[in-house]
């Protein structure tokens, strides 16, 4: 799942984000990985 969101820093500046969420369900647990990058940032290596 991928979506756009925004955060506000303590000074009130809005930071637009590109957020990607993946999940892995095991028998007893569901694990989630959430990666949030500033919008327009290059992908990590």
Residue 38 backbone class (left: φ over 0; alpha: ψ -120 to 50; beta: rest): beta
b/e code 20-39 from CB counts within 10 Å (16+ = b) = eeeeeeeeeeeeeeeeeeee
pLDDT at 26: 87
Separation of alpha carbons 37 and 42, rounded Å: 9
Q: Which residue has the tokens 């949030």?
A: 36
Query: Block means of pLDDT (10 residues each) for the chain, length 45 residues?
Result: 95 96 90 93 74
pLDDT at 45: 61
């Amino acid at each position: 799942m991928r979506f756009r969101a925004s955060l506000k820093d303590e000074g009130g500046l809005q930071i637009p984000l590109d957020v990607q969420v993946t999940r892995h369900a095991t028998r007893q647990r569901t694990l989630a990985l959430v990666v949030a990058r500033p919008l327009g940032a290059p992908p990590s290596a």
